[in-house]
Copies of this chain bind each other. A is one copy, B any other.
Amino acid sequence: MRVELLAVGSELLLGDIVNTNAAWLGQRLAAAGIDVLRSVAVGDNVARIAECLTEALDRAAVVLVTGGLGPTQDDLTREALALAAGTSLARDPELERALRARFAAAGRRVPELNYRQADVPIGATALPNAAGSAPGLRLELAGGVVYALPGVPHEMETMFDAVVRPDLRRLAGDAATLVSRVLRTAGLWESAAAEALTAEVDRLEAAGNPTLAFLASGGQVRVRITAKAASPDAARALIAPVEERVRAALGPAVYGADGDTLAGVVHRLLLARDETVAVAESLTGGLLGAALTDEPGASATFRGGITAYATPLKAALLGVAEPVLAQRGPVSKKVATEMALGARDRLQATYGLALTGVAGPDEQDGHPVGSGYVGLATPSGTTTRTLALPGDRALIRAYAVVAALDLLRRHLAALSPVAGSREADG
């Protein structure tokens, strides 16, 4: 079954927001074995939205629209659906009642504008919104089906999972399934990964199924293996030998697969050993700690962190020796080591992980932008890694977090071939 995505909102075209809804839906649909052919963003203009809808329905059986269902005057998806269907809007008394009840529960009256959210194109069905006030819409049109979902991500996601996904499963029947397996690596450039896999790529190109694709972002390279087969199990059986060869070719750079995150893998490795980590940061300002606490359950392995942004605080809060700071400067191997030792000691963790460096845009004490050090303090000693990171301030900070997590990950994976470290050992 072919699906297209249509995101509505001038803010997307103006770049005020990024179309994260398309990525989220793409992941969900791929997981369900459904091909997304095209993803379009269009502005708040009734005629243009309707035109995009009609075109998409020419190519695809299902169109998922996101956005334009809010209460404000620039929310025009309802009107565009009606236009494309050659019908008009009618106020739905039940939606009107639900709206009143929802606001009453919060002790508020319904703002006049919000009543627009009770308007429905004639022939469409309203879809319940468990997470917000904008109902979704389902409309059969030109031989296809259009689902209009709210633009607010968590409302869209809730509605997709509750209503649209089960519906699509039924519509898709038992067509061929597309299964993807993503292997995630750190510490490897994209061209190095591609070269290591040249033979595999050639072999797969000749066969045509599965396929292999590379993706570099945020200092990590992902390798996606995609197979098409009659069932998910058959697709997975096609993927397995390819995955084995890719893992063998890339070695310890492979830290995980699919939804794994580098921080999540570090967390599981620590958890398996009943160990903890504490961080000391400078250029990243807290991002390393933020990454380690992104996912639930972090408190079992993450003690906390100290961001010593002002140089004197590296001495006061982390115990870096004043003469070391004075002689070597805050961006030095020795300071990274002492920061890691300080974090380990003062936050009572098994490991201390430290980052110091130059995020830019200006060089610092003769150190170029992108240079820095990761320090790791373990129960048995310390180790450091020198950084020379490309990109702008945001990229350098993101790469530095990856480099720090990867240093700890490789240390733990080498130590502990125990439960949870399979991915890390490749």
Q: List residues of chain A with CB under 8 Å of any chain B CB.
A: 9-20, 22-28, 30, 36-44, 48, 52, 70-74, 111-114, 152, 154, 180, 182, 190-191, 194-195, 198, 201, 205, 211-217, 222, 224, 226, 279, 281, 284-290, 292-296, 298-299, 302-310, 313, 316-317, 346-348, 359-362, 390-395, 397
Query: What's the least CB distance linking A189 to chain B, in Å?
Result: 10
21 contacting pairs across A/B (C-beta < 8 A): A11-B213, A15-B26, A17-B23, A18-B19, A70-B190, A71-B190, A74-B214, A113-B194, A154-B392, A279-B286, A285-B290, A285-B298, A286-B286, A290-B397, A296-B393, A299-B309, A303-B309, A304-B307, A313-B348, A316-B346, A316-B348
The answer to whether A303 and B293 touch across the interface, beta carbons within 8 angstroms, is: no
* Identical chains bound together, number: 2
Chain B residue nearest to A393 in the complex (CB): B296
The answer to whether A194 and B22 touch across the interface, beta carbons within 8 angstroms, is: no
The answer to whether A285 and B306 touch across the interface, beta carbons within 8 angstroms, is: no
The answer to whether B15 and A30 touch across the interface, beta carbons within 8 angstroms, is: yes
A28 surroundings in chain B (CB, below 8 A): 15
A13→B395 CA distance, assembly (Å): 23
The answer to whether B296 and A290 touch across the interface, beta carbons within 8 angstroms, is: no
The answer to whether A112 and B198 touch across the interface, beta carbons within 8 angstroms, is: yes
The answer to whether A39 and B40 touch across the interface, beta carbons within 8 angstroms, is: yes
A42→B180 CA distance, assembly (Å): 17
Given A289-B286, A309-B304, A313-B303 in contact, is the A22-B15 Cβ separation under 8 Å? yes
Given A22-B15, A214-B74 in contact, is the A37-B43 Cβ separation under 8 Å? yes
A293 surroundings in chain B (CB, below 8 A): 284-286, 309, 359
Query: What's the least CB distance linking A296 to chain B, in Å?
Result: 5
The answer to whether A310 and B317 touch across the interface, beta carbons within 8 angstroms, is: no
Query: What's the least CB distance linking A247 to chain B, in Å?
Result: 18
The answer to whether B22 and A317 touch across the interface, beta carbons within 8 angstroms, is: no
A214→B292 CA distance, assembly (Å): 34
A66→B239 CA distance, assembly (Å): 29
A189→B11 CA distance, assembly (Å): 18
